[in-house]
Amino acid sequence: MKKALFALLLVAVLAVAVVASGCIGGGTTTPTTSSPTQTTTSETTSSPTKTTTSSPTETTTTTTTESEKVPSGKVVIWHAMQPNEAQVFESIIEEFMAEYPSIEIVLEQKPNLEDALKAAIPAGQGPDLFIWAHDWIGKFAEAGLLEPIDEYITPDILDKFSGMAKEAIEYGGHYYAMPFAAETVAIIYNKKMISEPPKTFDEMKAIMEKYYKPDEEKYGIAYPINAYFISAWAHAFGGYYFDDKTKQPGLDKPETIKGFEFFFKNIFPYMAPTGDYNTQQAIFLEGRAPMMVNGPWSIGSVKDAGIDFGVAPLPPIIENGKEYYPRPYGGVKLIYFAKGIKNKDAAWFFVKWFTTNPEVAKTLAKELGYIPVLKEVLNDPEIQSDPVLYGFGKAVEYAIPMPKSPEMGSVWGPVDTAITEILKDPQNADIAAILKAQNEEILKAISGG
């Protein structure tokens, strides 16, 4: 299987080089964050992209082992991945269907995935499965949009995954999904401009100062600005957007305010004056900044740009002899089971194969920079020796899991509103007042006011 899988992936990689040049690499589309963990989705009127490579007519089951039989039927998966990600998934699905022709997997792109799911599932027109980060599990479970898979989850399956991944698939005493990767943001640096990543924030600031030449449209760092991307600084001094345990927001906390003020005082001045994802990424891809803060999903575009790069966690801030680590939100990528699923056994068979197959995990890691959550693969010397995977793997160690509570849905908008207000005049903005005002908006939304 391994040879067949990588043979198919070679074709996919060649396709990616063409496709990615017109998407996140070429900057001709405008995704909100270009990441499966994005917290908002952009509206679109385009029709969904469907991918299917076979239409099996077999209805009988075939035996793979003495204890496991292969179901038959069609399984529809909705996603909002970027083209370079979808290409790799399509190749893996082709391999699965070649090995198990009684199951047809159809991959459909839905750029505005959340709205599409919320409209389709209650009407009985939703998918069998969908792909997103773990932060949706609370609100989707409480809205009755997910199908429990408790009957399939056994201790031996759970034991295959890291602790963060096991936690991500459970909500309210039920399992609703399976994990296949973790992610967060880190520094991606151009080795032709800086040979080693900064080990402290002071070193990082010195690099930004050196390369900041706005008259030449060159900058010290490329950094998309939204609630997800700058969460690291909100958490750096002990602040937070929302606490899952208390179910309360924390934008008004002194530690959160200090983190925001630190970002806009010490990082934003060395950037191009925009928070736009595509613009910031293009600056790095075009060699106009030595560093970019981004996630594993951007690695394909960095490679396509021909940049000799490295990856490292955001460095600690040292104040009065104490280290304060910027701690970005981290996510676990999940395949969710949608309520009203039409072929649960076939869906489970595919999902179990996809999420517990070491070769699949390694392929996603090597091709897309996905950080594995299978313990077997995390301990693989090939993965540990990869500087990109190692860099993001270290970044994940500092990451804070995004809250799972449904109330978190009321947090993202006000945080982004606060950021928008600050960006109107970053030098003179009353950041504390802006954050406190949006904290009140979150409290009103949570209480139904």
For residue 68, the 8-state DSSP code is -
Q: How far apart are CA 160 and CA 8, in angstroms?
A: 26
The CATH number for 134's domain is: 3.40.190.10
Do 155 and 126 fall within a single domain?
yes
Query: Does any domain span residue 409?
Result: yes
Using CB atoms within 10 Å of the CB of residue 150, give its burial: 0 to 12 exposed, 13 to 18 middle, 19+ buried.
exposed
Mean of pLDDT values over 290-307: 93
Angle between helices 344-356 and 358-368 (to 10 degrees): 70
Strand partners, 213: 218
Report how far residue 259's alpha carbon sits from residue 240's, in angstroms, rounded to the nearest whole number. Answer: 9
Considering the chain, what is the average pLDDT of its residues? 86
Residue 341 shares a structural domain with residue 276 = no
Q: Helices 2-19 and 358-368 meet at what angle, rounded to 10? A: 20
Each residue's pLDDT tens digit, 390-437: 889 889 888 888 999 999 989 999 999 999 999 999 999 999 999 999
What is the percent of the chain where pLDDT is above 70? 85
Instruction: Tell me, yes or no, whether 173 and 97 share the same domain.
Output: yes
144 and 239 in a single domain? The answer is: no
The confidence score (pLDDT) of residue 186 equals 96
10 within some domain: no
Does residue 101 contact residue 56 with C-beta atoms inside 8 Å? yes
pLDDT at residue 312 greater than cutoff 60:
yes
H-helix or E-strand spanning residue 183: strand 177-183
Same domain? For 113 and 190 the reply is: no
Can you tell me the distance from the alpha carbon of 297 to that of 310, in angstroms, rounded to the nearest whole number? 15
Q: Are residues 430 and 349 in the same domain?
A: no
Flag whether pLDDT at 29 surpasses 50: no
Q: What is the pLDDT of residues 2-20, one digit of tens each?
A: 444 444 433 333 333 333 3
Q: pLDDT confidence of 449, banded at 50, 70, 90?
A: low
Confidence grade of residue 68 (pLDDT, cut at 50, 70, 90): low
Residue 341 structural domain: 73-183+331-401
Which burial class, exposed, middle or buried, applies to 366 when counting CB atoms under 10 A from its CB (0-12, 13-18, 19+)?
Answer: middle
Q: Does 9 fall in a domain?
A: no
Residue 36 has pLDDT above 90, yes or no: no
Residue-wise pLDDT tens digits, 339-396: 999 999 999 999 999 999 999 999 999 888 889 999 889 888 888 889 888 889 889 8
User: Over 50: is that where the pLDDT of 438 sits?
Assistant: yes
Angle between helices 254-266 and 412-424 (to 10 degrees): 40
- Looking at the structure, do residues 289 and 430 belong to the same domain, yes or no? yes
**pLDDT score, position 111:** 86
Q: Has residue 321 got a pLDDT over 70?
A: yes
Residue with the bigger pLDDT between 196 and 39: it is: 196
Any domain includes 8: no
Tell me 299's DSSP state. H
pLDDT value, residue 41? 33
| Secondary structure element (H or E) that encloses residue 89, with its range | helix 83-99
Tell whether 154 and 272 lie within a shared domain: no
pLDDT at 184: 92
Q: Do 249 and 277 share a domain, yes or no?
A: yes
The count of domains in the chain is 2
Residues 191 and 179 both lie in one domain: no
State whether 84 and 167 are in the same domain: yes
* Residue where a domain terminates, one of 401, 416, 435: 401
Rounded-to-integer distance, Cα 70 and Cα 315, Å: 48
429 phi/psi in degrees, rounded to 5: -65, 140
Please indicate, yes or no, whether residues 222 and 91 belong to a single structural domain of this protein.
Answer: no
The yes-or-no verdict on residue 66 having pLDDT over 90 is no
Does pLDDT of 203 surpass 90?
Answer: yes
Reply yes or no on whether the pLDDT at 298 is more than 80: yes
